[in-house]
């Protein structure tokens, strides 16, 4: 049915999942930095955080991908030429993961900011009153509770980002979408292979929903039990 191309496409799935997971890690870093900036007492940092989330959420993901991959490569090589260095070719995997992480970091910024604001302020103040340092308060009070509040929004962002990994095929990364495109061109059966890709994405997102739903129930178990009492 798939003319022997199924193993090749499943190998491409590994690339897709690698892009998604690395992008998620990058997005979490940008998200925490953005949330910290928007919650900062510094007007400058708040302005940077506001600018970051406003601009990134306003621009299409594909446009940002092309700007970073092609525009970034042009700017980088102009700098290297000015220094007398050789040509640098930006890796498609690096460009794709940085772009997706940077883009979805803006969305996670709002998710993390909302989760932090949902924590009762009195708990943080109590931590400081007990002599905990700012880092200890963050580690022992803020982050554990932030995770619980952030999981629903985090799940939605992960699912959207997972689908957005298909964009990396535009810049030449050999993911499963790119391989399906090659297979459909060779066999002239685009529906067969693109339908297969759709089913694979559906399977991965279904597993993600089940896993993150279980995690959400686990971290909320104590809170629900307390509410029943």
Query: What pLDDT does residue 68 have?
Result: 79
Predicted confidence (pLDDT) per residue in 90-129, tens digit? 788 888 898 899 999 999 999 999 998 888 888 878 887 8
Dihedral of the CA atoms 142, 143, 144, 146 (nearest 10)?
Answer: 80
In this structure, is residue 126 part of a structural domain? Answer: yes
Predicted confidence (pLDDT) per residue in 8-63, tens digit? 999 999 999 999 999 999 999 999 999 999 998 899 999 999 999 999 989 888 88
In this structure, is residue 81 part of a structural domain? Answer: yes
Predicted confidence (pLDDT) per residue in 191-222, tens digit? 999 999 999 999 999 999 999 999 888 887 75
Q: 49: closest CA among 38, 57, 33?
A: 38
Domain harbouring 42, CATH code:
1.10.3720.10
Query: What pLDDT does residue 20 have?
Result: 94
Domain count of the fold of the chain: 1
The token duo for 122 is 């009195």
In this structure, is residue 79 part of a structural domain? Answer: yes
Q: Check if the beta carbon of residue 167 is closer than 8 Å to that of residue 173.
A: no
Instruction: Give the C-alpha distances (Å, rounded to integers) separating 85 from 61, 73, 74, 192.
Output: 31, 14, 14, 47
Q: Which long-range contacts (CB under 8 A, 24 or more apart) does 180-185 make?
A: 180/9, 180/12, 183/2, 183/3, 183/5, 183/8, 183/9
In this structure, is residue 27 part of a structural domain? Answer: yes
In this structure, is residue 118 part of a structural domain? Answer: yes
In this structure, is residue 1 part of a structural domain? Answer: no
Predicted confidence (pLDDT) per residue in 154-196, tens digit? 999 999 999 999 888 888 788 899 899 999 888 888 899 999 9
Query: What pLDDT does residue 229 have?
Result: 47
Residue 93, domain extent: 6-228
How many CB atoms are located within 10 Å of the residue 61 CB? 16
In this structure, is residue 55 part of a structural domain? Answer: yes
Q: Check if the beta carbon of residue 162 is closer than 8 Å to that of residue 20.
A: yes
What secondary structure letter does DSSP report for 173?
A: -
In this structure, is residue 18 part of a structural domain? Answer: yes
| Average predicted confidence (pLDDT) for the chain | 87
């Amino acid at each position: 049915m798939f003319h022997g191309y199924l193993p090749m496409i499943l190998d491409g799935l590994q690339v897709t999942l690698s892009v998604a997971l690395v992008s998620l890690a990058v997005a979490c870093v940008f998200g925490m930095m953005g949330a910290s900036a928007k919650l900062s007492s510094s007007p400058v940092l708040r302005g940077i955080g506001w600018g970051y989330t406003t601009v990134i959420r306003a621009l299409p993901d594909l446009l940002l991908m092309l700007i970073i991959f092609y525009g970034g490569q042009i700017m980088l090589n102009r700098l290297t030429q000015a220094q007398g260095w050789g040509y640098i070719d930006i890796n498609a995997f690096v460009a794709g993961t940085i772009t997706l992480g940077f883009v979805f970091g803006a969305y996670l910024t709002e998710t993390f900011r909302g989760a932090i604001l949902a924590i009762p302020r009195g708990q943080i103040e109590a931590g400081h009153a007990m002599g905990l340092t700012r880092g200890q308060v963050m580690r022992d009070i803020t982050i554990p509770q932030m995770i619980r509040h952030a999981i629903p929004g985090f799940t939605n962002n992960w699912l959207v980002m997972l689908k957005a990994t298909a964009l990396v095929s535009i810049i030449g990364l050999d993911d499963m979408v790119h391989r399906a495109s090659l297979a459909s061109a060779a066999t002239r059966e685009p529906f067969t292979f693109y339908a297969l890709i759709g089913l694979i994405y559906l399977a991965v997102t279904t597993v993600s929903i089940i896993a993150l739903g279980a995690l959400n129930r686990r971290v909320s178990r104590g809170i629900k039990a307390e509410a029943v009492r």
